[in-house]
Amino acid sequence: MHNPKFISLEQVCTDSAEAAGLSLLNVDVTVSQGTTLVVHGPPNKGKSGFLLLIAGLITPGRGGVICNGKEVTGPSPERALVPQWPALLPWLTAYQNVFLAVDRAHGRHKSRDELHVDTAIALQRMQLGNVMHTRASRLTQDQQQRVSIARALVVRPRVLLLDEPFAPLEAATLAWLPATLEHLIQEHHITTVVTHNDNPFPYLHPSQYFEVGAAACQPA
């Protein structure tokens, strides 16, 4: 069933002392299930903080965050975050980084063979089949970011949080990856929140957009 208030931030404020660029004041935002919200604005104005709140990695000083009918009180596999710069374990291979995520999320409910199949498919979708057994520290920034996206998608999240996800990518990757990502988002009905600095619609096609510092979301 479609939920018009799948994600809701209600009068949310964050403590400006938490970290530069994470401060938000009196944010009221509602995101419908299966839609894409673009959050845009200049650097260090709270875009990353917006995503971290939904991810459950920081807590609001005032107000609350609701996702899928429950208050967000901490991280969950149903809310996958792709940070602006990849946060991979450098001593593990691309394959091991992705497998670790799906094993933690679904290891109790799937066989090892199924987990390995899911891992391989996720990496192949990101065109990383030829480097999947290369250590993350030896990958290019472009490849590392694609591993990070594969790691987020492999857990089959209900919510995908993308923090300026295309910044580290090369031009050749930008020619195909946004369309592939958007296809996967639509295929699996993933509710998506993506940040960008300036142009609010550079790659993905949003249903709504929100400018940090604005009063409310606007239709795209």
- Per-residue pLDDT reduced to its tens digit, 73-101: 999 999 999 998 888 999 999 999 999 99
Q: Residue 2 domain-assigned?
A: no
Work out the percent of the chain whose per-residue pLDDT is above 70.
89
Which pLDDT score is estimated for 49? 87
Which pLDDT score is estimated for 45? 75
User: Contact at 8 Å (CB) between 196 and 190?
Assistant: no
Which pLDDT score is estimated for 185? 94
Q: Residue 217 domain-assigned?
A: no
Which pLDDT score is estimated for 17? 45
Which pLDDT score is estimated for 218? 57
Q: What CATH number should be reported for the domain holding residue 17?
A: 3.40.50.300
* Arithmetic mean of pLDDT over the chain: 88
Q: Residue 75 domain-assigned?
A: yes
At residue 210 the predicted structure's pLDDT band, cuts being 50, 70 and 90, is confident
Which pLDDT score is estimated for 143? 98
Q: What mean pLDDT comes out for the span 172-191?
A: 94
Q: Residue 53 domain-assigned?
A: yes
Q: Residue 220 domain-assigned?
A: no
Q: Does the pLDDT value for residue 40 go beyond 80?
A: yes
| Number of domains, the chain | 1
Here the tokens at position 26 are: 């009196």
pTM exceeds 0.75, yes or no: yes
Which pLDDT score is estimated for 202? 62
DSSP 30-89: EE-TT-EEEEE-STTSSHHHHHHHHHTSS--SEEEEEETTEE--S--TTEEEE-SS----
More confident residue, 211 or 75: 75
Q: Residue 1 domain-assigned?
A: no
Tens digits of residue pLDDT in 118-159: 999 999 999 999 999 999 999 999 999 999 999 999 999 999
Residue ranges making up the domain that contains 70: 7-211
Q: 3-class SS at 174?
A: helix
Q: 3-class SS at 120?
A: helix
User: Contact at 8 Å (CB) between 214 and 29?
Assistant: no
Q: Does the pLDDT value for residue 217 go beyond 60?
A: no
Q: Residue 86 domain-assigned?
A: yes
Which pLDDT score is estimated for 79? 97
